[in-house]
């Protein structure tokens, strides 16, 4: 799907006609015209299919008459479902019309924000990562190249859609990054791709091993020791609010994670290409904020490494000195993401003095045990930021569940020879990981609100949902954009 256009309502002469309908619907506008043109076939077909307009419900009527290839009805649920229901309906409709070349959405009854959300849902569900498929048959490829959305007020719908389109661009960028194979996307390459954000007005600064060593990034560089691929840190800045204090987003970017010397089992290790999803989300978020010209100053920082076993790799038993000066005894080299975050968070807080910090990481399998794949884990030192994040997640369908932080969990991190160990044992593994990260949020100069999102269970989907096709989800891009839009702009 390449083009989404908003137009005045005109009954199409070809292709698919999509009818977004709420419960208790009456066919009106283009839907009524199409029904009359087909001798009542649409009303009869919907009744025969038992279509009631419930949220998530759909019905397809093939060749109902005239020149239409099909009519697809999608449910909006009870009246007042709002933009989230419209977005989900758009995503539901997409696979039902993907084999048509063109489609028209009869959205005359939807307010401009909802018609724009419907369009966004189409775009988000249409995502495909197929750049390495060389033998895919024409029949297996989607044919949809043009979608027209019929609305009464075209300028209003276009205005409502513009920021959603920028956010979708950010989501697709993140999905592209997370989907890339690790032989293609390694730290230096990922840093280079960040530079594409410069065309949106984002300033991009890339720090290599020499700069990181000079800064004392012993924790991050320790993770990278086993790989021939050199580490990078990328600092991205969007300045949309003059001299205002910035907000900061930090991402774990382990472009491939073998576990290092504490090597992972072979089964499923190919999934560790998406251990950089936290960094991918930060990059997509920065693209979204810049693309919609957000009135905020935002900083995105990503630590990029590859965790490999070799004769130069970090060993269990090693002690490293972090950028903060705190020393860390390495017990398990597969607990590497927290080491990357430790240095980048401390650096970001002291350089930029942000209003808040949110870090994202596919950090622990323990969070999947606790929450499955439905919620990401939320850990925070600030109740207000936690509430804002949870509300933003609920608004866009990216759910968070707040987990505890407590000094009692710190006991497992005690080391006999260093300031701390990098793991705290199996019990409460996602919590002790968060406790570790919290040690690198400096409190000496006052309280900086901080949140850690463990997205290990939500960064990759094994099945389709309304607006997320199977694969990389870009979880967090829309959530954090909503957080900024609701509370930190202007």
Find out whether 42 and 55 touch, Cβ atoms under 8 Å. Answer: no
Find out whether 85 and 396 touch, Cβ atoms under 8 Å. Answer: no
CA distance 262 to 314: 10
The residue annotated as part of the active site, out of 229, 338, 421, 482, is 338
Q: Helix (H, G, I), strand (E, B), or coil: what is residue 118?
A: helix
Find out whether 121 and 466 touch, Cβ atoms under 8 Å. Answer: yes
Q: Cα-flanking dihedrals φ and ψ of residue 89, to 5°?
A: -65, -40
Task: Give whole-number Cα distances, 70 to 18, 42, 452, in Å.
Answer: 9, 10, 47
CA distance 421 to 406: 17
Strand locations in 334-489 (E): 357-361, 376-380, 400-402, 420-421, 450-454, 460-461, 471-472
CA distance 269 to 256: 9
Quote the radius of gyration of the chain (alpha carbons, Å): 24
Dihedral of CA atoms 381, 454, 464, 257 in degrees, nearest 10, equals: 160
Active site residue 264: yes
CA distance 290 to 316: 42
Find out whether 322 and 343 touch, Cβ atoms under 8 Å. Answer: yes
Partners of 351 in beta bridges: none
**Which pair of tokens denotes residue 207?**
């720090």
The residue annotated as part of the active site, out of 32, 52, 195, 264, is 264
CA distance 390 to 444: 28
**Which pair of tokens denotes residue 223?**
């993770």
Which helix (H) or strand (E) segment holds residue 224: the answer is helix 218-224
Cite the active site residues: 264, 338
């Amino acid at each position: 799907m390449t083009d989404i256009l908003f137009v005045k309502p005109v009954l199409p002469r070809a292709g698919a006609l999509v009818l977004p309908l709420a419960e208790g619907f009456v066919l009106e506008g283009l839907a009524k015209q199409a029904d009359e043109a087909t001798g009542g076939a649409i009303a009869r077909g919907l009744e025969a299919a038992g279509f009631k307009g419930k949220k998530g419900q759909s019905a397809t009527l093939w060749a109902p008459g005239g020149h239409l290839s099909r009519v697809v009805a999608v449910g909006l649920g009870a009246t007042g479902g709002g933009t989230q229901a419209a977005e989900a309906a758009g995503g539901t409709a997409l696979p039902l019309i993907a084999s048509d070349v063109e489609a028209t959405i009869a959205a005359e009854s939807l307010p401009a924000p909802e018609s724009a959300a419907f369009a966004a849902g189409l775009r988000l569900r249409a995502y495909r990562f197929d750049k390495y498929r060389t033998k895919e048959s024409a029949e297996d490829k989607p044919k949809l190249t043009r979608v027209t959305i019929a609305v009464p007020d075209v300028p209003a719908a276009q205005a409502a859609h513009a920021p959603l389109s920028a956010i979708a661009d950010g989501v697709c960028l993140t999905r592209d990054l997370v989907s890339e194979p690790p032989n293609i996307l390694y730290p230096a390459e990922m840093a280079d791709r960040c530079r594409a954000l410069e065309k949106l007005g984002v300033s991009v600064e890339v720090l290599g091993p020499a700069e990181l060593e000079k800064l004392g990034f012993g924790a991050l560089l320790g993770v990278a020791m086993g790989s021939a691929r050199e580490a990078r840190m990328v600092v991205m800045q969007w300045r949309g609010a003059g001299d205002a204090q910035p907000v900061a987003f930090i991402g774990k970017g382990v472009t491939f994670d073998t576990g290092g010397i504490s090597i992972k089992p072979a089964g499923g290790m190919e999934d560790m290409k998406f251990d950089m999803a936290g960094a991918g989300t930060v990059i997509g978020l920065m693209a979204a904020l810049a693309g919609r010209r957000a009135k905020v100053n935002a900083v995105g920082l990503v630590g990029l490494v590859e965790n490999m076993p070799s004769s130069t790799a970090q060993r269990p038993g090693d002690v490293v000195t972090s950028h903060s000066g705190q020393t860390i005894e390495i017990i398990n080299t597969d607990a590497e993401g927290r080491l990357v975050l430790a240095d980048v968070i401390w650096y970001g807080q002291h350089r930029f003095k942000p209003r808040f910090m949110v870090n994202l990481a596919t950090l622990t399998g323990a969070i999947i045990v606790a929450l499955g794949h439905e919620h990401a884990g939320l850990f925070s030192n600030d109740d207000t930021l936690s509430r804002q994040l949870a509300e933003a997640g609920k608004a866009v369908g990216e759910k968070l569940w707040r987990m505890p932080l407590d000094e009692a969990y710190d006991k497992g991190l005690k080391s006999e020879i260093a300031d701390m160990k990098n793991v705290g044992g199996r019990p409460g593994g996602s919590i002790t990981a968060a406790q570790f990260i919290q040690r690198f949020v400096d409190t000496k100069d006052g309280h900086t609100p901080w949140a850690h999102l463990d997205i290990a269970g939500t960064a990759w989907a094994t099945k389709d949902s309304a607006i997320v096709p199977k694969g990389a989800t870009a979880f967090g891009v829309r959530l954090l954009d909503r957080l900024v839009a609701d509370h930190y702009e202007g």
